[in-house]
Amino acid sequence: MGLLLLSWTSACRADGTWSASIGATTGYIFRGVSQTYGSGAVQLGGNYQSSLGWFVGAWGSNVDPYPHAGGSAELDLYAGVARPIGADFSARAAYTHYTYLDDRRSAHYDYDEFAVSAAYLDRIAATVSYQPDTAAYSSFGYAEHRPSGAFELSGRWPVWRDVSLTAGVGYYDLKRLFGVSYWAGSVGASYVYRRVTFELNHYFADDTVRRLYSDQSANGTWTFAALLRF
């Protein structure tokens, strides 16, 4: 969640531009769940933002959610539109397809997501998302092609020069998959030096995540990340 608002800022540029990023993190955490089982990740992204407000892009990372099955690569392909609403507010609608390359697992885990967001400057953003065909495995079993949803709120507060405090929290509805829902989030700090953003984050997740995913729960996990934008 920590880089959500930084990504929002680049997505709302007025001119048509290409941008890219490369980053490294000590742990890839997604919605309170470790995607690398506590290991590090290298992440790449590319984005085009048109002068009319629409954007397309791709983002990828190595993942290893189930170590005994071997690692794979996550590739997210997305498109959408971002529009200003007055001087301080903006809105965005996006579609993302999550796919896993070179995945040795026998089950199919690709899924789609539709999201609508609203933001105040680059300070606070709220997002509601719907995944119509989620596939997931947990200690409760395997669920495929079932809907799920999420509500996420993230914020960034400048405190001194290029240092900011960050925070995010999300509610994740997996009732159609496993009969449960859960809360997860993070608090941290970021520092921007020229084109590089450094982030330190501490994650939390309620006990439902541990019951669902055991050691993959990010509760209590610290991560450090560096992201180069160009």
CA 83 → CA 67, 77, 87, 89, 153, distances in Å? 41, 20, 11, 9, 19
Residue among 177, 157, 172 at smallest CA distance from 206: 172
11, two tokens: 């997505």
Average pLDDT for 54-80: 89
CA distance 127 to 209: 21
pTM for the whole structure: 0.91
Could you read off the pLDDT of 104-151 as tens digits, one per residue? 777 788 999 999 999 999 999 999 999 999 999 999 999 999 999 999
What integer pLDDT is reported at residue 5 of this predicted model? Answer: 52
CA 102 → CA 40, 62, 126, distances in Å? 18, 11, 33
Using only the alpha carbons of the chain, give its radius of gyration.
17
Q: What is the domain count for the chain?
A: 1
Structural domain boundaries enclosing 225: 4-229
Average pLDDT for 11-23: 76
CA distance 230 to 228: 7
Q: Backbone phi, then psi, for 219, in 5-degree steps?
A: -60, 125
